[in-house]
A and B are shown apart, each in its own frame.
Chain A
Amino acid sequence: MIKYIIRRILQSIPTVFGVTLLSFLLIHMVPGSPVRILLGNHYTPLRAAELSKTLGLNKPLWEQYLIWLGNIVRGNFGFSYTYDKSVVSLMFQALPHTIVIVVVAVMLAHVFAVFLGSVQAYFENTKFDQIATVINYFFYSMPTFWLAVLLVIFFSIDLPWLPSGGIVNTQLSNPGFGDWISHLILPVGALFLVSVAGWARYMRSSMREALLQDYVRTARMKGAHEFRVIFVHALRNSILPLITLFGLSLPSLLSGALFVEEVFNYPGMGLLYWDAVNSRDYPIIMGITVFIGLVTVLGNLIADILYSLVDPRIQY
């Protein structure tokens, strides 16, 4: 197992290397230069040349890449152009906020999707299943940002129950835990709803298949309760596809919280990324892209390890 993990980490080195190359090239292909944005109204060709030199943007592209890569290898992701802070410290500030909403949303969504999908499969083609399917497709096909905006309209504006954004109520002199939680509900809710919709579909089809297997009939013949048949016997066999989805969803959620964070003005990785793109803050953009690449590799590794825990036939 340890050997396998080490091998997988070594195998992922070329992948991460590719990610660095791609993210570097892509961001430099995007029109608009950071120099122009940083100088704004103070733009003169002389100042631009000066700033380019300070930021190292006047060197040939391949040289810039090698310098940047060399720094990354040493753990130095560079210095933000706009915030006057190191990229690593900015990411460390934003990451916990993102992790809170993503972890909570992913956990809740997984548990609920597994439950809903299983029950739908068991009551296949009944009214309940049909209604749940329609609701699922409704949320599945809805763009995340639009859903987020709708949530704000319903629950912050029409019904003034929850704050529309941020993480603390700045008007309170001593904002407490409850205030913090109330700021999390809508972003977590938006992520939860879009995630559940897709995952419940996968779970439904996987559970449907499992319920037709011979070992399910064996379990019934032992005298097991239907609840036990579904959630003990069939569940563990049908949950593998969801573990794959979990691994794949980790990076997209850490970055895909982007729209949600943007709508709710939530100071996580997504918002940091968004602002960096708007101001052509190359070090932050590339830093986060590489980080997402690492998380992708990690997510797949976690999924593979979970496989072997769930299914004894899979051994490394």
Chain B
Amino acid sequence: MAEVIRVDSIGVEFSINQHYFHAVDDVSFHIHEGETLGLVGESGSGKSVTSLAIVRLLAKSARVTGTVMYKGRNLLDMTVQEMRQIRGGEISMIFQEPMTSLNPVYKIGAQISETLHLHQRLSKREAHDQVLGMLKKVGIARPEEIMNGYPYQLSGGMRQRVMIAIAMICNPSLLIADEPTTALDVTIQAQILRLMKELSRDYGTSVLLITHDLGVVAEMCDRVAVMYAGQIVEQGTVDDIFFATHHPYTQGLLKAIPKIDVKIKERLQPIDGNVPAITRMPKGCRFSSRCPYVMERCRSEAPAFVDIGERHYSRCWLSAAEGLEK
């Protein structure tokens, strides 16, 4: 299958008191047509910054390096005009906060058709019909009425459906979903995830799903990239990540999930410590300050991102040693 997007070694730097610090460092991944890639990590691991760097919506003060190849063209080299054509038309995005992501003073119908009008020449009638059809597809009852309503009249789940309608109406090749269900309650979460899955399948849309919820990953994704402190530390298929876990950080994440079949006396095992601030990154491996298997080498030298077989990658000295043995 063809690649829709290939992110190659992108880095994002922010300036803090005139010094530049890497919020995202050497992040690479690609997504095939119709594939869903999960980008997993704690808060502050650089997931959202990575996604905003791809669509170039970071603040002007951010420095972005590397390449983002979309259908053979580097998004980071495009002019502002070309980039506007991409946004909403070819790559679209839904956000974490459905309550605030819609403009409170415009009608729902107008907000959805805006994307259409920005990318296609359509009559009002045609646009209206398309919006109506899209609202039906995202499972909104009484779509005619909702089109003439305002965001404040809708619940969070309904608003996220509207956001999905806005994102999908131009039939984009790639949908970036930044924690799309985090702000919703659990039953609504399941509905929204199912809706996204159906739509991406029907439209053949590739999805970059950003989440901190490994349950969501298991449900939705084909492949997973685990991020820690601005780097991808492990990448592979969902099976690789869940059943052939390699990186100590991923192992830690999996151990920290509550399971229903475990005895009450067994306690959850959190990963000790916090994600280091970008102003004080450890010199060697970024996880070395919290890793249970930390070695002398980890503190001084940063490990490379190595293939440990069948496109399963890990950024760890333990994996590197194993890779050499093979």
Contacts and interface: CB of A to CB of B under 8 A. Distances in A.
Interface of A: 213-215, 217-225, 233, 236-237, 310-313
A225 B280 CA distance: 38
Nearest to A220: B57
A202 to B, nearest CB: 18
Given A219-B103, A223-B87, A224-B88, 16 more contacts: A213-B100, A214-B100, A217-B57, A218-B166, A221-B55, A221-B88, A223-B85, A223-B115, A223-B118, A224-B114, A224-B118, A233-B103, A310-B105, A312-B150, A312-B152, A313-B104
Nearest to A225: B84
B89 interface: yes
Nearest to A224: B118
B65 to A, nearest CB: 22
Contact of B89 (A215, A217, A223): A223
A236 B104 CA distance: 10
Contacts of B163: 218
A97 B128 CA distance: 49
Interface secondary structure of A, over-half rule: helix
B174 interface: no
A217 B89 CA distance: 15
B84 A218 contact: no
B287 interface: no
Given A312-B150, A313-B150, A313-B152, A221 B93 contact: yes
Contacts of B107: 312
Contacts of A224: 84, 88, 114, 118
B317 interface: no
A222 B114 contact: yes
Contact of B84 (A223, A233, A236): A223
Interface in B84-102: 84-89, 92-93, 95, 97, 100-102
B119 interface: yes
A93 B166 CA distance: 57
Contact of B92 (A219, A221, A225, A310): A221
A215 B118 contact: no
Contact of A214 (B87, B88, B92, B97): B97
Contacts of B84: 223-225
Contacts of B101: 214-215, 217-218
A233 B88 CA distance: 16
Nearest to A239: B105
A181 B84 CA distance: 46
Contact of A218 (B85, B95, B118, B119): B95
B122 to A, nearest CB: 15
Contacts of B86: 223
20 contacts: A215-B103, A215-B104, A217-B57, A218-B102, A218-B103, A220-B87, A222-B87, A222-B88, A222-B118, A223-B85, A223-B88, A225-B84, A236-B106, A237-B103, A237-B104, A237-B105, A312-B105, A312-B107, A313-B104, A313-B150
Nearest to B85: A223
Contacts of A311: 104-105
Contacts of B115: 222-223
A1 to B, nearest CB: 17
Contacts of A219: 103, 114
A219 B22 CA distance: 28
